[in-house]
Structure 1
Amino acid sequence: MYTYTTVREIADSLNLEILNEGNLDLKIDIPNIYQIGYELVGFLDKDSDELNRYINICSLKESRFMATFSKERKEKVISEYMALDFPALIFSKDAIIAEEFYYYAKKYNKNILLSNEKASVTVRKLKFFLSRALSIEEEYEDYSLMEIHGVGVLMTGYSNARKGVMIELLERGHRMITDKNLVIRRIGENDLLGYNGKKKVKLGHFYLEDIQNGSVDVTDHFGVKSTRIEKKINILIVLEEWKEKEFYDRLGLDTQYETFVGEKIQKFVIPVRKGRNLAVIIETAALSFRLKRMGHNTPLEFLNKSQEIIQKKKKEREENMNTNSLAVTKLINEFDLEVKYGRDKVTSTYIKSSNVYRPSLSLIGFFDLIEEVSNIGIQIFSKMEFNFLEKLCPTERINNLKKFLSFDIPMIVLTEDANAPDYFFELVQKSGHILAIAPYKKSSQIIANFNNYLDSFFSETISVHGVLVELFGFGVLLTGKSGIGKSETALELIHRGHRLIADDMVKFYRDTQGDIVGKSAELPFFMEIRGLGIIDIKTLYGMSSVRLSKRLDMIIELKALDNSDYMSAPTTHLYEDVLGKPIKKRILEISSGRNAAAMVEVMVMDYMSGLLGQK
């Protein structure tokens, strides 16, 4: 409904002095203010709302300008202006008020008020007052409103689940405005303010009602910091019972809205089912809203990065590139190598072997081994190689190097302190090979680092549908049927301080120590949450909440609880083969009332105790 205020209420609220009292009970039904200007030079738009319906303001600037007028001109301008139908004229405290204003105010029965603030402050306070006093408001049943991470979150649907999640959110330190009898008021141009229109007040107490046919005194249970009178509404959460055949947004690209009092707010439809921690999901929705307001559109960023990967793979297919090869430029970027020669070839030259060699026997003229290798690996030169070359006669030295450089070597790397002689640089430059300098002094360090990187790239890999997280230093893979709650469980674990490695599709490979290591198949640190879409964990929770890869120590499969077998003892000696290595596996049965994240933590701690010999 539309509301109105009066000149009297404005004067009382802003503590304005009444210089001339006209009709103080004039109704004001438009929240706009007009600072006079053109009228001072005789331009009067007599039919405009500004001069007939708006509160008018006159500041020091306008009054000083009028002070330069002749008496006749001032008389004419003020008399014509004061004859208009504006409800009131407010002077700022520093304005110079001409006597003519008093005369014509009495003549035309005009309200003239004086502020005790400068014009800018008066305008700001008046706008704020009018936006509240003249707002449109409506009452809505079956809606709850909370403040979560500073975001006004409106919730509706699935009443039982909603009451429960509100209690958990209160326990997490968030604040309640109302759980029913919501009144939404539109203030300003496009802001919505929510409050309880029929709030039970008993010494300022707030209540959660209809909890087991009773109510919970939120103020008593959680303290005064857990409540607030009103809050600007930012997003709407609609809770609904999970429907197996229903499509739920997993990307977040198609933003949904719902209209309240003529204003749209973003809507998230969150399906409720066993194993989903709604409090964490709603908290994440609030954080995502804040992130979007800061200019980050996570779903769009995810889509753009996905398109880049698709285009890159398409280009590789068109160029018939061997997928089992690594561009030299990637190794250069990974280890910050300084390219001395062959920079124009780094993107078109590919490494096809994980082997990293020191030339050794090749420098004395024995090339049988290098000739037998179909894919020659990277060659490392250090001080030792050049010290050895200096012991050879010049002819033998040059001939052996020329023969060595005639092979198809993807890249030659020098240690930082190799101190290569000029003849070596000349021969390499003539051969057209890529020559780079590593920021390491020991060749063993270069070889170890290169081997780890190349072995992980060239090793056999598999992709598994699940979520890989790090708990207490252990890599844990959460698996289970689609929709069982893997991502939601991982999200709560992240909220508890654990770390995400990969969501949805995890790529595993065997490293040089024989361990199975998992990482994100393509785009790291993104998660898909049904109802919210794509979220960026690194941006929402910080760098400490993610890592690029992790050794796999344990698999936990999430399954719906079989009520017919709920008394059975858990199976503790299961293993699953991953790339030829047996990995410890546990089954976690999901049901209402069981906190899946807490159960996962307990299972991992139980695994830890077994390793420590405490079982």
Structure 2
Amino acid sequence: MDKIIIKKFPKVRELADELALVPLFDTNMDGEIKTQAVYRVGYELNGFFSEGEELLSNVNVLGRKEIGFLRRLDKKKRKEIFEKYLSYSFPVLVVTLENEIVDEIVEVAKKYNKPVLKSKNQTIEFIRNAKFYLQKALAEAVMIDNCILLDIYGVGILLKGYEDARLGATVELLERGHKFITDTRLKIQNVANRFILGSNTADKENGDSHFYLFGKDGNDIDVTTHFGIKSTRKNKKITLLVELEKWDEKKFYDRLGLDEVYEEFLGFKIPKVTLPVRKGRNLAIIIETAAINYRLKKTGVNSAEYFWKESRKLIEENKENKKRGLVVNDKTSMPVRYIKSRFNLNVLNGEELLDNKYITTTGVYRPSLALTGYFDMYGEEGYKGLQLFTETEFKYLESISVADRERNLERYLDEDFPAILISGVKKIPDYFFDKIIKKNIILLETEIDRSSHVVATFSAYLENYFAPSTSVHGVFVELYGFGVLLTGKSGIGKSETALELIHRGHRLIADDSVRFDKSVTGDINGRASKLPYFMEIRGLGIIDVKALYGVGAVRISKRLDMIIELQELKNGDYLTAMDYQESTEVILGNEVSKIKLYISSGRNAAAMVEIAVMNLMAKRMGYNSEEVYLKELKNKKYDN
């Protein structure tokens, strides 16, 4: 960026115009104000003059309190004070009252050609407004070119870098309803070390003045005419710098977003994001997301940090599970805590064992034969299963002799099952509960009181958990009710395509790693392998889609209906490659519809994905556009 340092001092006339101050007599209003301070006169009214900057360069103000003090002095004393006070070189005196004392001040001020202005506001309000104006007007400033300042979702984004990409992204952002400040002669100011303000320095006081986006080779765009006056604004606080650069395959681009990078402007550090640019990458969508993500960070939510912390927790948990013999990836075991949490079960005993006892089978077992003393086949079915006790089991135990009950219970409770589940039991017998405590067995209680409902509900959950599964690299989204897996080589633009689909109203299920399970009904269902709702965008890092776009933009799982493989369309393929090629792919034994989409610069991948899914919808409804076309073509041939 080309920089020119500028220093401009506002005149008394400009202060008067900005704050609606009225001169009390005709005088020179072209004196310059060179400090940001507003001095409320004090010691001077008693005849003490400090000779400091307050009387040499600050705006001075007299309010109700000061006038009240002056009233107590005789007229001769007041005139002596005014003669001395108004001889100092401060640029202007502002009064907030009209009375005879003010008239005396005006009389002396005329002698020294000192401007005296009247404010309609109270003293405190005037001081606040004057300080704010002077902070902006006197802020250190530089003029910069070769960048573009935009207002995106209320975030002031300064775009710099790759010129073609900068201009193209700006046009699309304006089409999407964002605001343009300037792309040339941008003045930036450090306002009281609180923020950096960017302003368009062209004269915009005339209502007919337009904002222009200056293109290459004189192809300028009249922003006001093309996009309307609502698409422009005079200035904006700069809060985020986005640098665009040509994609370098050898360069590492931030994929987590943990490291904060800044660029300094006038001593003020502005957060910086570097976005690599390549053909087909929708920069406008990514820049919008950068703005929303910045706003989220300002609320104290850092998606990248949260993702990293939770990932480390998962890594440590997996290490612990492997030490305990739990095979994490293949889901051959489930800690009892999982099912306790899933169904909000009450823990009656064994809280400390919930993470150390595992369920390894899908069945829920009622130990009817075991309680009769028959254990011959029990080891084949019920050793590792969840055990269910209802009123029926306790009624049976109370129907047999105490000796048989003691013997059968002792033998049964020595088996190595993970936990016992109680359902619909009003009071657990002491003889049973005492043995549970003695043998330190996990005892859980469910609010579901129908045994058939318990078996069906818990078995279905366990069946899904232990169902055959596989992990696939890609992005899983829902479009028009269809579960669509986007695949393709790394860097092809899967995540960016999904991000634009989210902007179009579709939903994210999983990014990067998708876990598919085969349900008991035979459907293939997908969800995030690890942390759901997070997405990786090169240059931005990790973003939380649910936090950025709301719960309507995500869902936890979805049936897989279609696979779309994104492939790059090379120049040599332009005349030979079809827009998409249909086939199938087998996942967990099921054939899934698959197409290849060829994407390149000028082709909107998200729109092509939408069309492909709508075409699948039409086929499911019995309409095949290709067959209809060929049929019509054949009929036309015969007609000729």
TM range (shorter): 0.7 to 0.9
Q: Which amino acid aligns with 1:505?
A: S
Map 1:56-455; keep pairs closer than 5 Å: 56-61=60-65, 85-93=89-97, 111-189=115-193, 190-195=195-200, 197=202, 203-210=208-215, 214-316=219-321, 323=328, 324-373=332-381, 375-416=383-424, 420-455=428-463
- Distance in 1 separating the partners of 2:259 and 2:170: 27
Aligned partner of 1:57: which letter?
A: V
Instruction: Pick one of 570, 576, 585 that aligns with 2:585.
Output: 576
Closer, same or farther: CA 68–350 of 1 in aligned 2, 3 Å: farther
The Cα of 1:599 is off from its aligned counterpart by 0.9
| Structure 1 letter corresponding to 2:135 | S
2:582–2:596 contact (8 Å) kept in structure 1: no
Aligned to 1:594: 603
| Cα deviation 1:150-169 (Å, max 9, x = unaligned) | 22222233333333322322
- Pick closer, same or farther for the CA change 1:210–1:275 going to 2, 3 Å: closer
Among candidates 609, 618, 621, match of residue 612 of structure 1: 621
2:547 corresponding residue in structure 1:
539
Output the CA distance in 2 between the equivalents of 1:25 and 1:563. Answer: 65
Kindly indicate whether residue 490 of structure 2 is the aligned counterpart of residue 466 of structure 1.
Answer: no
Partners in 1 of 2:140 and 2:244 — Cα distance?
A: 27
- Partner residue in 1 for 2:635: none
Structure 1 residues 75 and 498: CA distance shift in structure 2, 3 A? same
Q: Secondary structure at the match of 1:441?
A: coil
Structure 1 residues 451 and 6 mapped into 2: Cα distance closer, same or farther (>3 Å)? same
Which secondary structure state, in structure 2, belongs to the residue aligned with residue 231 of structure 1? strand
| Match 2:496 to one of 484, 488, 492 | 488
Letter in 2 for 1:138: V
Q: After superposing the two structures, state which structure 1 stretch, 13-22 or 349-358, moved more.
A: 13-22
Shift of 1:238: 2.2
Mapped contact 1:94–1:118 kept (Cα < 8 A):
no
Q: 1:75 to 1:375 in 2, by over 3 A?
A: farther
Aligned-partner Cα distance in 2 for 1:240–1:283? 17
Question: Under a length normalisation based on structure 2, what TM-score does the superposition of the two structures give?
Answer: 0.85
Is 2:58 the partner of 1:54? yes
For residue 535 of structure 2, the aligned residue among 527, 541, 551 is: 527
Q: Deviations over 1:62-101 (max 9, x none)?
A: 6557778999999999888667554334333499968996
Q: Which residue type is aligned with residue 304 of structure 2?
A: P
User: How far 1:585 sits from its partner (Å)?
Assistant: 1.5
Which stretch of the first structure deviates more once superposed, 369-378 or 98-107? 98-107
Report Cα offsets for 1:373-413 as digits up to 9, x if no partner: 58511112234434544544555445433332222222111
User: Within 2, Cα distance between the matches of 1:442 and 1:76?
Assistant: 100
Structure-2 separation of matches of 1:583 and 1:321: 32
How far has the Cα of 1:21 moved from its partner?
Answer: 8.0
Q: Quick one: distance in 2 between partners of 1:452 and 1:330?
A: 14
* Distance in 2 (alpha carbons) for counterparts of 1:152 and 1:494: 23
Contact 1:464–1:507 at 8 Å: present in 2 too?
yes
Pairwise CA distance, 1:417: 5.8
- 1:381–1:412 contact (8 Å) kept in structure 2: yes
Segment drifting more, 476-485 vs 57-66: 57-66
Equivalents in 1 of 2:600, 2:282: separation in Å? Answer: 12
**Greater CA drift, 276-285 or 243-252:** 243-252
* Structure 1 CA distance for aligned equivalents of residues 372 and 77 of structure 2: 108
- Write the distance in 1 (CA, Å) between the matches of 2:268 and 2:561: 51
Cα displacement (A) at 1:441: 2.5
Report Cα offsets for 1:306-329 as digits up to 9, x if no partner: 233333334445666664533322
Residue 11 of structure 2 is aligned to residue 11 of structure 1 = no
| Contact 1:362/1:400 (<8 A) preserved | yes
Paired letter, 2:495: S
Q: Which amino acid aligns with 2:604?
A: N
- CA change 1:390–1:609 in 2 (3 A) is farther
Report the CA distance shift for 1:390/1:275 in structure 2 as closer, same or farther (over 3 A). Answer: farther
Q: Which letter does structure 1 place at the counterpart of 2:607?
A: A
Residue 595 (structure 1) shift? 0.7
Note closer, same or farther for the CA distance 1:139–1:562 as it changes in structure 2 (3 Å cut): same
* Counterparts of 1:375 and 1:78, CA distance in 2: 102
Measure how far apart 1:302 and its partner are.
2.1
Q: What SS does the corresponding residue of 2:56 show, helix, strand or coil?
A: coil
In the aligned structure 2, how far is the partner of 1:269 from the partner of 1:545?
26
Partners of 1:479 and 1:494 in 2: CA distance = 17
What SS class does the counterpart of residue 224 from structure 2 fall into? Answer: helix
**What runs of 5+ residues in structure 1 fail to find an aligned partner?**
none
**Structure 2 residue identity aligned to 1:589:** Y
Deviations 1:566-592, CA, capped at 9 Å, x for gaps: 334466442223233332221111111
Say if 2:562 is the partner of 1:554. yes
- CA–CA distance in 1 between the matches of 2:99 and 2:569? 76
CA contact (8 A) 1:538 1:546 kept: yes
The answer to whether the 8 Å contact 2:151/2:181 transfers is yes
% of aligned pairs identical?
Answer: 46
Mapped partners of 2:111, 2:203: distance in 1:
47
Q: Which residue identity does 1:597 align to in structure 2? A: A
Question: What is the CA-CA distance between 1:484 and the residue it aligns to?
Answer: 0.5
Structure 1 residue 480: deviation in Å?
Answer: 1.0
TM-superposed CA distance for 1:414, in Å, is: 1.8
Amino acid in structure 1 at the alignment position of 2:257: G
2:17 aligned with 1:29: no
Cα distance between partner residues in 2 of 1:201 and 1:12: 16
Deviations 1:208-243 (A, max 9, x none): 443785344433333332223333322222222222
TM-score computed with the length of structure 1 as normaliser = 0.88
